[in-house]
Amino acid sequence: MHIYKLIGRDIDITDAMRSYAEEKLAKLDRFSDQIVDARVVMSYDDRIGGAPAKVEVQLNLPNGMVRAEERGGDTYTATDLVVDKLERQLKKFKGRMIAKRGQEKPTPEPEDEADRPPEVVRVKRYVLRPMSADDAAMQMEALGHDFFVFKNVDTDLVSVIYLRHDGDYGMIEPANP
């Protein structure tokens, strides 16, 4: 596999870091021979306690994409962790594509809890109450959730406010109302 784009945020990417990432990501070819390219972003923030290095990888496939990010003490550790996560995701993705095409059922393998495909196990319905983004953030915090769905009084759109890794909030709204 060839990394078409390797980006460093607040970090200079050395040849050793690039080689290590390419070597590790090349091992993913055995799970999907259809990986078109990979986009890797490495960043380092020593203000974050514990694991200042972060590696984000997006693998582009003909029928979609697989994305993962992990943190570690250094970029090498974070790369190892993210490749492990991508390996699990590619196995699931490949199984779903095979099943979707109806060619064959995915071969059953002994699965631990982390390797089984996700399924909808609960549906929760509730009335969307109009509120501001600030009120939604307070409601989310009060419930102890990482996200909250609400009807935004400013835009009259269904919106999702969520807690970002950096402690700030993000908001998702439809582009086509």
Last residue of a domain, one of 51, 81, 101: 101
Does 85 share its domain with 158?
Answer: no
Q: Which of 111, 79, 113, 82 is nearest to 95 (CA)?
A: 111
54 vs 72: CA distance, rounded Å: 6
Rounded (10°) CA dihedral 73, 77, 83, 85: -50
15 and 93 belong to one structural domain: yes
Q: Note whether 138 and 92 are same-domain residues.
A: no
DSSP assignments along the chain, one per residue = --EEEEEEESSPPPHHHHHHHHHHHHGGGGT-TT--EEEEEEEE-TTSSS--EEEEEEEEETTEEEEEEEEESSHHHHHHHHHHHHHHHHHHHHHHHHHHHTS-PPPP----TTTSPP--------PPPEE-HHHHHHHHHHHT-SEEEEEETTT-SEEEEEE-TTS-EEEE--S--
Q: Which of 59, 83, 101 is the last residue of a domain?
A: 101
Q: Which CATH number fits the domain that encloses residue 142? A: 3.30.505.50
* Residue 115: CB atoms within 10 Å: 11
The confidence score (pLDDT) of residue 15 equals 93
CATH number at residue 17: 3.30.160.100
Judge if 94 and 157 occupy the same domain: no
| Whether residue 49 is found in the same domain as residue 88 | yes
Tell me: do 12 and 80 sit in the same domain. yes
Shared domain for 92 and 148, answered yes or no, is no
| Per-residue pLDDT tens digits for 75-95 | 999 999 999 999 888 887 777
Domain of 162 in residue numbering reads as 130-172
Burial (0-12, 13-18, 19+ Cβ within 10 Å), 41: middle
8 & 95 share domain: yes
From 55, 80, 101, the end of a domain falls on 101
pLDDT of residue 149: 94
> Residue-wise pLDDT tens for the chain (177 aa)?
556 689 998 899 999 999 999 899 888 887 767 788 888 999 998 776 778 899 999 888 777 778 889 999 999 999 999 999 998 888 877 776 666 666 555 555 555 555 667 788 888 888 888 999 999 988 888 777 889 999 999 999 999 999 888 888 999 999 886
Q: Can you give the pLDDT at residue 162?
A: 94
Copy the structure tokens of residue 43: 């960043």
